[in-house]
Amino acid sequence: MNTGRLSTIPEIQTIPIPQDIQEEIETFEDEVSRLQLGETPMDLFKPFRLQYGIYGQRQPDVQMVRIKIPFGGLNANQLRRIAELTDTYGTGVGHVTTRQDIQIHFVPLKDVGTVMRKLAEVGVTTREACANTVRNVTACHLAGVCQGEVFDVTPYANTIAQHLLRNPLTQSLPRKFKIALSGCKQDCAMTPIHDVGLLAVKAEDGTIGFRMVVGGGLGAAPRIAHLLREFVPMEDLIPSIEAVIKVFDNLGNRKNRSKARMKFVIEKLGFEEFRHRWEEAYETLFGKSPTHPPIKLLQHPDPAPLIMPTKNGSNGHGSNGQHAATETPYAMWRRTNVVKQRQEGFAAAVLRLPTGDITAEQMLAVAELAEKYSNGNVRTTIGQNLIVRWIAEGQLEALHQELEGHGLGQPGANKTEDIVACPGTDTCGLGITSSKGMARALADVFPPGQVPEDLKGTTIHISGCHNSCAQHHTATIGLHGVGKRIGEHIAPVYELHLGGQINGTAQIGQMTVKLPAKNVPAAVSHVVELYRRERQEGENLFAFINRTGKAKLKEELIPHSILPSYEEDTSYYMDWEADQEFSVEDLGPGECAGGAVEMIDNRILEAEQELYQARILAEKHQFAMAINKAYRAVVAGAKALLVTEGIDPNTDADTLAEFDRFAAGKNGLIPEAYRNLSSKTENLGTKESTSAFTQDKMTFAKGFVDVCRKLTDQIGQDLKLGLGEASEEEPKAPESEPTVANEPAVEATILDLRGVMCPLNYVKTKLKLEMMDDGERLEVWLDAGDPIKNVPMSLRNDGHKVLAEDPLEADQQHFKVLVEKVEA
């Protein structure tokens, strides 16, 4: 902890921390103590920590604390507390994210509990800002004051966020789940890239509701959401969302994180089948013809300030033509940063935060100015800025003068020069490149307040990796960092995406070319110059990119894509603002032999970890989470046993169904009490579950995990279960196993395992060989890479004869392995 840089902090008003929140924080602190004493392993602590909104950083022994701010709404008192914590426990600089959160970096783990407690004293939490949960619910920063909005979505965003927070339905989803709300057709909250997007609409009879889309997302596989309901009445809003979450929880891929988001569930099922599953889930949860009570809205006080507006002043829209060279700093700021509200005489001012960073001193200044010139409220934006609303137009110039004194009067907010960038390698453990460094390099190309009007509407977003935290797919010019190896050296490189937009219409930008980091400013300048040279009358950059096409643009940019060798120019092998050679951590391939046993052990460990979490949560009366953890323990135990059959389901539904089939086929192996798991684990209770209900769930889960542990305790490389009355049947290959009997060149049974990863391909091969006689031959078809490297080696270790390993196809993407069984 540092000694603090702030000279004085105004008195902060606090509230008593509710008992359940106090116990929640104590639970976290207890786990930190156990970790530091060596009683809890880091592998157990990490998912626990994420549930509380705490990330590890790429730097050791410090954490990133993510503060969850539904719809971006804060009051001055809360902002002062965040400033105090940023100064005392962090580096003195906070970071506003594209999900309207605020992050504090470099917080020592021992201080995180204190930070949580001090946030709770002002009604703010970090809970579920990370992990496989419903992340922060975002909304347009102009909600309530927007001139074109259908209605104010703020109370609906707040209600959804609070309802889903700590809800048993959302505690252990297959992957993160994102919700956004917009109040008008401009769709500032970008609903099409969310798991659930809600756009305010009004029916013909004047009734208000939401247009609901589902299954959007970015990352390595961006998808635009599908329309699920054209009109959702308000009383049906939360039930409709819960049914979507239920489908995702049940069918989301829990084996492969890269395929775990809801967009992949829809892709696998097809949207019409997904819609059918959603209808089934809705009926299961609420009945065939439910009558829902009116929604109970959680309001967010946002009154007009005491300062009354005057009639003087411009409308805040600024000029539509080229700005005059003599434009004053205030005029430039008002033109670019100020938006006229629908309330006559009032305006909203966006405070531009380059790359989303704001110092603790600046936070205190914003809090003071929000109380002085407005109603004491501020909002974070998905553009990584802050906005102060309800400013009397006659007060704007005085406000700007004071902002200038704190370094907050920069023009260009939400314009081309307001480049969005994630933290990248500054702090993120997943970051590959310095996205903030790249943003600062591009600032020379797009100087604040001086970008010509012909680039109006152009956006630039930079992500440090493919995960798209800066939402680079949605920008006119999007960049995401990768590494490229040339010989023994690796250079920082960016993939350039052009033509993204979500502004009433949705379009994902196309990956056009890969550019060395050092060449990106010149390449982007080239795109702009080409646009100005070849544009048609009235055509903006977005339209020009679409008309010109990817092939032409790539051809133009080829010279900028050339990466010289390290010997030719070492500067290409250093990232922006870096003082040492660029590097990327390279994880080696996993092993196949013994991998299945390790997989089983890991899942039993996971089950035990979930039980452990359930117990300590129940002790703190966090019953909803405890129940969900007990359920997760059952699923993990079932998956451990299924590995012995070469089955590794993607979803909870598949896991429970496969286990029920497995149990039915094993005479006496699985006690009757633990058969038909699907029906016995369905009910997760409610937010108001009792202690007795929770204990029943935990007792059932513990008994089941005990059975799983005993069955696997004696397991060896033969993958045969150790205890219980064994079935007299021979082991069967999974029903999905694609065994074909063509006419191979060598007399052998063919086992097609293309697309099956290690170690499951080895398990399936082993099971097949167990069904064969000594001397029989099996031809196994495997993918290139780890499968062909590891499976033959494992079979040799088992004592079988590997007779041949040959390419199956000319491109050597798949191989065939001929193995002869040898009885042990």
pLDDT digits (tens, 9 = 90+) for 164-184: 999 999 999 999 999 999 999
Same domain, 802 and 769: yes
Four-point Cα dihedral 188, 194, 196, 199, nearest 10? 20
Check if 758 is active-site.
Answer: yes
Same domain, 482 and 626: no
Strands (E), 342-465: 346-351, 357-359, 377-380, 386-392, 420-421, 460-463
Is the pLDDT at 64 greater than 80, yes or no? Answer: yes
Question: What is the rounded average pLDDT of the residues 446-471?
Answer: 91
Question: Which domain-ending residue is among 713, 747, 771?
Answer: 713
Token pair for 27? 């639970």
Say if CB 121 and CB 145 are below 8 A apart: no
Is the pLDDT at 306 greater than 80, yes or no? Answer: no
Predicted confidence band of residue 741 (pLDDT cuts 50, 70, 90): very low
- Output Rg (C-alpha) for the chain, integer angstroms: 29
Predicted confidence band of residue 208 (pLDDT cuts 50, 70, 90): very high
Say if CB 271 and CB 134 are below 8 A apart: no
Q: Scan for tokens 């050679």, then name that residue.
A: 581
pLDDT for the residue numbered 173: 95
Same domain, 607 and 664: yes
d(CA 391, CA 79): 18
Q: What CATH number does the domain containing 632 carry?
A: 1.20.120.330
pLDDT for the residue numbered 773: 82
Same domain, 605 and 520: no
Predicted confidence band of residue 714 (pLDDT cuts 50, 70, 90): low
Question: What is the rounded average pLDDT of the residues 746-763?
Answer: 79
Q: Is residue 361 part of a domain?
A: no
3-class state of residue 453 by DSSP: helix
Q: What CATH number does the domain containing 179 carry?
A: 3.30.413.10
d(CA 677, CA 638): 9
- 382 Cβ contact list (under 8 Å, min separation 6): 72, 98, 99, 100, 138, 141, 188, 189, 190, 471
Is the pLDDT at 397 greater than 70, yes or no? Answer: yes
pLDDT for the residue numbered 586: 36
- Assign 3-class secondary structure to 602-669: HHHHHHHHHHHHHHHHHHCCCHHHHHHHHHHHHHHHHHHHHHCCCCCCCCHHHHHHHHHHHHHCCCCC
Q: Scan for tokens 């001086």, then name that residue.
A: 450
Same domain, 243 and 202: yes
Q: What CATH number does the domain containing 747 carry?
A: 3.30.110.40
Q: Is residue 544 part of a domain?
A: yes
Is the pLDDT at 612 greater than 90, yes or no? Answer: no
Q: Is residue 385 part of a domain?
A: no
Same domain, 523 and 431: yes
d(CA 446, CA 452): 9
Q: What CATH number does the domain containing 37 carry?
A: 3.90.480.20
Same domain, 568 and 602: no
Q: Which of 191-205, 499-513, 809-823 has the highest mean pLDDT?
A: 191-205
Is the pLDDT at 743 greater than 70, yes or no? Answer: no
pLDDT for the residue numbered 821: 87
H or E element in which residue 117 lies: helix 109-120
pLDDT digits (tens, 9 = 90+) for 92-124: 999 999 999 999 999 999 999 999 999 999 999
pLDDT for the residue numbered 87: 96
Strands (E), 393-538: 420-421, 460-463, 477-486, 489-498, 501-502, 506-507, 510-516
Token pair for 96? 């506003």
Catalytic residue among 140, 422, 469, 758: 758
The dihedral built from the CA positions of residue 557, 561, 562 and 568, taken in this order, carries a sign that is: positive
Is the pLDDT at 284 greater than 90, yes or no? Answer: yes
Q: Is residue 729 part of a domain?
A: no
Span of 15-29, 288-302, 460-474, 594-608 with lowest mean pLDDT: 594-608
Q: Is residue 191 part of a domain?
A: yes
Span of 389-393, 423-427, 777-781 with lowest mean pLDDT: 423-427
Q: Is residue 732 part of a domain?
A: no
d(CA 202, CA 184): 11
Predicted confidence band of residue 716 (pLDDT cuts 50, 70, 90): low
Question: What is the rounded average pLDDT of the residues 66-84?
Answer: 98
Q: Scan for tokens 């949207």, then name that residue.
A: 271
Predicted confidence band of residue 198 (pLDDT cuts 50, 70, 90): very high
Give the global pTM. 0.79
Question: Which domain-ending residue is among 522, 539, 573?
Answer: 573
**What's the angle, vertex CA 303, arms to CA 297 and CA 308, rounded to 5?**
160
Q: Is residue 694 part of a domain?
A: yes
Predicted confidence band of residue 67 (pLDDT cuts 50, 70, 90): very high
Cβ burial of 431 (10 Å; 0-12, 13-18, 19+) is: buried
Residue 77's identity, in one-letter code, is: N
Cis peptide before 759 (omega within 30 of 0): yes
Q: Which of 320-324, 577-581, 625-629 has the highest mean pLDDT?
A: 625-629
Same domain, 709 and 766: no
Span of 226-240, 456-470, 530-544 with lowest mean pLDDT: 456-470
H or E element in which residue 241 lies: helix 237-251
d(CA 581, CA 469): 25
Predicted confidence band of residue 726 (pLDDT cuts 50, 70, 90): very low
pLDDT for the residue numbered 739: 35
d(CA 596, CA 797): 14
pLDDT for the residue numbered 722: 53
Same domain, 440 and 567: yes
H or E element in which residue 397 lies: helix 396-405
Say if CB 758 and CB 787 are below 8 A apart: yes
Same domain, 656 and 536: no
56-59 contacts, C-beta under 8 A, 24 or more apart = 56/429, 57/105, 57/106, 57/427, 57/428, 57/429, 58/425, 58/427, 58/428, 58/429, 58/431, 59/106, 59/427
Give residue 209's domain range.
145-286
Q: Is residue 730 part of a domain?
A: no
Give which of 246, 320, 318 is closest to 652, Cα–Cα. 246
Predicted confidence band of residue 58 (pLDDT cuts 50, 70, 90): confident
Is the pLDDT at 730 greater than 60, yes or no? Answer: no
Give which of 260, 266, 341 is closest to 304, Cα–Cα. 341
H or E element in which residue 277 lies: helix 271-286
Is the pLDDT at 737 greater than 60, yes or no? Answer: no
d(CA 144, CA 390): 10
pLDDT for the residue numbered 191: 96
Is the pLDDT at 742 greater than 60, yes or no? Answer: no
Four-point Cα dihedral 425, 428, 431, 434, nearest 10? -20
pLDDT digits (tens, 9 = 90+) for 631-648: 999 999 999 999 888 888
Q: What percent of the chain has pLDDT over 70?
A: 91
Say if CB 341 and CB 145 are below 8 A apart: yes
Q: How many domains does the chain have?
A: 5
Predicted confidence band of residue 604 (pLDDT cuts 50, 70, 90): confident
pLDDT for the residue numbered 324: 53
Question: What is the rounded average pLDDT of the residues 277-301?
Answer: 93
Same domain, 481 and 603: no
Is the pLDDT at 694 greater than 50, yes or no? Answer: yes
Same domain, 443 and 566: yes
Predicted confidence band of residue 138 (pLDDT cuts 50, 70, 90): very high
More confident residue, 304 or 672: 672
Average pLDDT, the chain: 88
pLDDT for the residue numbered 488: 85
